[in-house]
Structure 1
Amino acid sequence: MKIKRYEARDINAAVQMVKSELGPEAIILSTKRLRKGNGLLGGAGKSMVEVVAAIDYEPRDPMVNTASLPEKRSADYLPRPINNQLINSQLPEVSALRAEVAGLKRMIQTAVGPRPEMRRGGQAGLSAVTAQASGPLNQAVDTLTAYLESIGLESALVCSLLEGAGLDGRADPAESSARLRDIITGRLLDQIVLGRWDEEKANRPCVWAFIGPTGVGKTTTCAKLAAHFALKEKKRVALISADNYRIAASEQLKTYAHILGVPFTAVFKDLDLSRAINRNQDKDIILIDTAGRSPHHEEHMQEMARYIYAHPAIEGQLVVSATTQNAVIEDILAKYLALSVKGCIFSKIDESRFYGPIFNQAVRFKVPIFYFTTGQRVPEDIEAATRKRLIHLLWSELREEV
């Protein structure tokens, strides 16, 4: 196997370099963005793309005319004496190559999640996809694959989205790319569940508890939704703070409640929470702010569980920052979904440019996405999760690569 790294100004240029040197059968193992140089006046430097590609054999020199080569004789295929000195001299290089291949395999395996349907395919699946394509379609597959992986989509998921696309390889590159994007978008969104507030609650209020790690914006999200429901939806709202660790969080929510003219209660144990919910049964929606909890701290998770199960009406809304790494989001969801979680809210969308992890975990866990938060302003910077918004997040960076 031949493995090589390429650096270029964008994905298109990198893919062309790969195809030119390794040929159309090359496999793209990984992509990432780089910053080269210090930039003018201490700036961030020039944006580059690094692509790691591999081929299972040494490519032939395209300039060699095979017709001019001498005819092979049967003797050419007889075993030749082993040159032990040559083999020993190359052992360090072979060992280094094996170590690099092993490292790349571990990287790919780490990226692939636990669901069987996302494990199928992998790089072999991508090879099959590109093997079925030719010409402009091959170029479109290479470019879109590199782009999707550059924003954080897992390789196995990309393969499943491209598998059996069945496009006409004779179409021009722009048409092939557009049709492939439509196929990818449709297949991906069909696997994602969107949530919405259920107004039909059988004569009882909707009760949402905002849970999640520290620093993801639970208190601000709670305030934004309180303002949205009270001012825009004209609903009867109650606010409850169960955050006993940050006094400022409780005071902040109390201030918002005063501005909105809605009742506010601070509770310090699960029994108080149940009583506060019962006192607000005339409301349409009750929003509960909770303290941030590490999914790895068993005692804190048990305390969170006591609050979540304090009243049968409570539904957890897991708040996760969009800036979080893919593996960390997966870990958070795996731990928190053991509780009574109704759905998920991705915060700080405005602080990220790479939204692949959102799609990876939405497909993996099938947890409904309810809202995205897009800034600090209350109540403006929150929006319902829609297919249109997901499409924008998926392709928002593509214009820089083509």
Structure 2
Amino acid sequence: MTTLSWAGSHVGRIRANNQDSGYAGSHLFVVADGMGGHAGGDVASALAIQSIAHIDREFDSPEEAEEALASALLEANKELAETVFEHPELTGMGTTVSGFVRVGDQLALAHIGDSRIYRWRDHELTQITKDHTFVQRLVDSGRITEEEAATHPRRSVLMRVLGDVDITPEIDTMVVDTQPGDRWLLCSDGLTGYVPESEIASVLSRQPDAAEAGQQLIEATLENGAPDNVTIVIVGVDAGRPSGVPQPSLVGAAGAPLSYSPVAAKRSLRIPAMLLHPIRAAITDPEDEHFEPESEEFLRELIAEDRRRRIRRRITWSVGIVLVVGIIVAALTAGYQWTQTRYFVGTADGNVAIYQGVQQDLGPFPLSSVVVETPIAVDELPDFTRRSVEATINADSLSDAYRIIERLTDVVD
């Protein structure tokens, strides 16, 4: 029998530790991504998941489950703040959380940060949650495109997270319908940042087993260099089977003993990653995510900086284009001047002539011109000599060309 639901996590090829956590239970399914670069990103995600896991139970209604899930996230936020109070070295730690509780044919969702929840239905993948990031604000306002957001220098700025950074974080909640045949994907940005949605949909479409599909998605991140941790929870909906897993599954940092000791944020690139993906390994090492308050003043500053960045980029491109064009023009000019130091003997209007330049043309532009047209008719030359002239005879200089003409004159005489 195929696996209906599954949870898995991988540290990736670059990170020193796994700051992601995931949970798959009887009714509750959650992913969390600790903020990279902060001490205790793994602690934050693990504490959040463990704090939320206690609501993995049946609810009388999806609205009740929605309220319980939102309250659990706020309690997790409080626990993170208390942990930082006891361990000041963890100041600034935080985590994203995206999860849901299944209640019959409905799901109660809660979401904060840039981990995502997708629905796969009728061979179509739909993102249900919206990222709480600065670049998403730019996309929503029409300032940049989705493609530009993927490479934007501020793509690591999170506007909302759980942690000691905000006492009362705003959490998105909703109740959505589900139906038999649906597959729900919860994932950290270690997947969506490096594997296209089209490839994710393709894996879900061709692989009905949740465990196999999850492993293939993790393999896809590894094939792309896996610069970040990746955590995946897949939940299937079947009319005759519950979505829950036989035993609650904690993965990533939540599945390991908690440690408050600082861990290096990164490790050296592994040799296989460098050999298989030398370019991606160099350019896709993700900038550490960090939280910034969702204030209008901060947004104005970032938008102004983004505008300056675009102006600088345009100026750089303009200067680069001017320099390239200048180099090309200079090269063409130098090349043309060199051709004009060359001479050859050929034919012009049936007579022998001296040309300045080279025999080739540059597209529609000739690189040679007649210097002297002699009275020697080509038809008067012996066959071998005539063919040589028609094929052109190179001369080292103009005086050398005149000496060739003198020899041809002697042949005619």
TM-score (norm 2): 0.18
Q: Could you say which structure has the greater relative contact order, defined with CA pairs below 8 angstroms and 6 or more residues apart?
A: 2
Q: Which has the larger radius of gyration?
A: 2
TM-score (norm 1): 0.18
Q: Which has more helix, going by share of residues? A: 1
Q: Which has more strand, going by share of residues? A: 2
